Amino acid sequence: MSQSIVSSTNLETKSLVFECETGNYHTFCPISCVSWLYQKIEDSFFLVIGTKTCGYFLQNALGVMIFAEPRYAMAELEESDISAQLNDYKELKRLCLQIKQDRNPSVIVWIGTCTTEIIKMDLEGMAPRLEREIEIPIVVARANGLDYAFTQGEDTVLSAMAQRCPEFSSNELSNEENNVIVSQSKIANIKENLSNQKAQVTPLVLFGSVPNTVATELNLELNRQGIDISGWLPSQHYVNLPALGKNVYVCGINPFLSRTATTLMRRRKCQLIGAPFPIGPDGTRAWIEKICSVFNIEPQGLEEREQKIWQSLENDLQLICGKSVFFMGDNLLEVSLARFLIRCGMIVYEIGIPYMDRRFQASELEFLEKTCLEMNVPIPRIIEKPDNYYQIQRIRELQPDLVITGMAHANPLEARGITTKWSVEFTFSQIHGFSNARQILDLVTRPLKRQKTLKNFNFTK
């Protein structure tokens, strides 16, 4: 144990070091993705197929949204269902017909759980037949607790939905090429010095679920560079899913979408743009620059745009500069957040992460290493599947100013005088793009300000 602590707290590393501790997972269930996907896909309905435990979880996790009339329901499996004494198809048909009558959605998403996985429930076999009968598309996604992190529930749903996107035809590309003059004039109106650049005619699809305000901001940032977005996966409406094919470029928004990226490349033959993720002003600039390089466009005004954001964050940066942070690992956003906080002047002792797809996060990892070298700070070790027992020992030894952790460990750490922040809050906050950098800093500085206030408060009075 002591050897593990020493090796992981060595802060003299000059290159990325990966370790794997094969610890247990302490995270939300991936079916929680329903909470944000039903809001993003406005004409959808999510049917979670599981036991009463799944229902209790959704009831507690999503109970605060009851006034928003969420479009999801539970198909609870009883003992007779699990022992195969009842006809699953008839029961699911009854529920889907009721959903059609009450809500008439454009798509019904079946969310499989651990139970459906264990009893080998043939959801993929039943869905096409039932889809023909009720005349509503049914998408099957096995967002069960066998995944590493709760955010991978979105990855599973988007991977399944990617296979339902229409096929991009070469005729559509020809039509875009015929409109190249219009595209060039649009570029000239945005930036005069881009008038001689080659116009973008190849479709670009962005994948990842973000609020509409964030999607609009990212669209505008790319439009300023003369790049048009062909569509988003997921789209606001199921009928508006983007066309995909071998002539389509795709780029991810979130680092936990590796399964979706694989589906887009292997099954839909799209071309993936490997870029750092648009989290923080530095990440957003690098993300835009990488997309521009693919389309042979010289980016304009990004350096000034980034510097303007950093200047607006000056007060918060002074508060966290020189402070240390420790990531226990929960939502797969850890590498991107660590890179941003290092750029803010913080010291990252350790990046715990439940699962690391080094291919999909290759650009982000390279950007992390580059950021550490530019800021002249040690490169933190990345611990995949961290063992929380060993992590607690390292936290006691290092005494970081802030620990970003899952909800299961926050209160026990706080009781031991360690300042924490729930990692799940980064998942539900708007953290993408230039303007949302303040949201990230607010989440980080809030517990530090609280701790400072408590230290100055005299409890003896």
| 75-79, 242-246, 386-390: least confidently modelled range | 75-79
Residue 188 has pLDDT above 70, yes or no: no
Residues 6+ apart with CB under 8 A from 190: 223, 224, 225, 226
Residues 8/394, Cβ–Cβ less than 8 Å: yes
The pLDDT of residue 169: 80
The pLDDT of residue 367: 97
Residue 31 has pLDDT above 60, yes or no: yes
Structure tokens at 159: 């991977």
The pLDDT of residue 457: 65
Strands of 280-364 (E only): list them: 324-327, 347-353
Closest CA to 255 of 432, 420, 39: 432
How far, in Å, are 7, 221, 229 from residue 181 at the CA level? 59, 21, 18
What percentage of residues in the chain have a pLDDT greater than 70?
85
pLDDT tens-place string over residues 32-80: 888 889 889 999 999 999 888 888 888 777 665 554 566 788 888 776 5
Residues 6+ apart with CB under 8 A from 61: 28, 32, 35
Rounded CA separation 61/82 (Å): 25
User: 104: alpha, beta or left, given left = phi > 0 and alpha = psi -120 to 50?
Assistant: left
pLDDT tens-place string over residues 14-25: 678 899 998 777
Q: Which CATH number fits domain 2-25+305-456: 3.40.50.1820, 3.40.50.1980, 3.40.50.300, 3.30.43.10?
A: 3.40.50.1980
Q: Give me the chain's average pLDDT, please.
A: 86
How far, in Å, are 1, 13, 34, 245, 447 from residue 18 at the CA level? 18, 11, 32, 35, 29
In the sheet that holds 420-422, the strands lie side by side as 18-20, 381-384, 347-353, 324-327, 402-405, 420-422
Residues 131/120, Cβ–Cβ less than 8 Å: no
Residue 419 has pLDDT above 90, yes or no: yes
Which pLDDT band holds residue 171 (cuts at 50, 70, 90)?
A: low
What percentage of residues in the chain have a pLDDT greater than 90?
65
Q: Helix 437-456 to helix 334-343 angle, to the nearest 10 degrees?
A: 70
Residue 9 has pLDDT above 90, yes or no: no
In the sheet that holds 231-233, the strands lie side by side as 231-233, 204-207, 249-252, 271-272
Residue written as tokens 């945005």? 190
| 107-111, 359-363, 448-452: least confidently modelled range | 448-452
User: 236: alpha, beta or left, given left = phi > 0 and alpha = psi -120 to 50?
Assistant: alpha
The pLDDT of residue 3: 39
The pLDDT of residue 28: 81
State the binding site: 29, 54, 114
The pLDDT of residue 14: 67
The pLDDT of residue 226: 93
DSSP state of 380: P
Residue 199 has pLDDT above 80, yes or no: no
Q: Where, residue-wise, is CATH 3.40.50.1980 in the chain? A: 2-25+305-456, 30-147, 170-300
Residues 36/428, Cβ–Cβ less than 8 Å: yes
Q: Residues of 311-320 as b/e, b for ≥16 C-beta within 10 angstroms?
A: eebeebbebb
The pLDDT of residue 24: 75
The pLDDT of residue 72: 81
Complete DSSP assignment for 208-230: S---HHHHHHHHHHHHHTT----
pLDDT tens-place string over residues 83-142: 555 678 888 999 999 999 999 999 999 999 988 888 888 899 999 999 999 999 999 999
Q: What is the mean pLDDT of residues 222-245?
A: 94
Which pLDDT band holds residue 202 (cuts at 50, 70, 90)?
A: confident
Rounded CA separation 112/60 (Å): 19
Q: What is the CATH number of domain 170-300?
A: 3.40.50.1980
Q: For the chain, what is the radius of gyration of the CA atoms? A: 23
Long-range contacts of 435-441 (CB under 8 A, 24+ apart): 435/217, 435/309, 436/214, 436/217, 437/280, 437/281, 437/309, 437/313, 437/340, 438/312, 438/313, 438/316, 440/279, 440/280, 440/337, 440/340, 441/313, 441/316, 441/317, 441/320, 441/344
The pLDDT of residue 172: 53
pLDDT tens-place string over residues 281-335: 999 999 999 999 999 999 999 999 999 999 999 999 999 999 999 999 999 999 9
Rounded CA separation 283/200 (Å): 23
Q: What is the mean pLDDT of residues 429-443?
A: 95
Name the strand (E) or helix (H) holding 48.
Answer: strand 44-50
Q: Residue 417: exposed, middle, or buried by beta-carbon count in 10 A (0-12, 13-18, 19+)?
A: exposed
The pLDDT of residue 234: 95
Rounded CA separation 435/424 (Å): 21
The pLDDT of residue 452: 79
Which pLDDT band holds residue 82 (cuts at 50, 70, 90)?
A: low
Angle at 88 between CA 84 and CA 93, to 5 degrees: 165
Q: What is the mean pLDDT of residues 392-414?
A: 93
The pLDDT of residue 164: 95
Q: Count the neighbouring beta carbons within 10 Å of the beta carbon of residue 117.
A: 15
Q: Which fold has domain 30-147?
A: Rossmann fold (3.40.50)
State the binding site for [4Fe-4S] cluster: 29, 54, 114
Closest CA to 295 of 367, 370, 223: 223
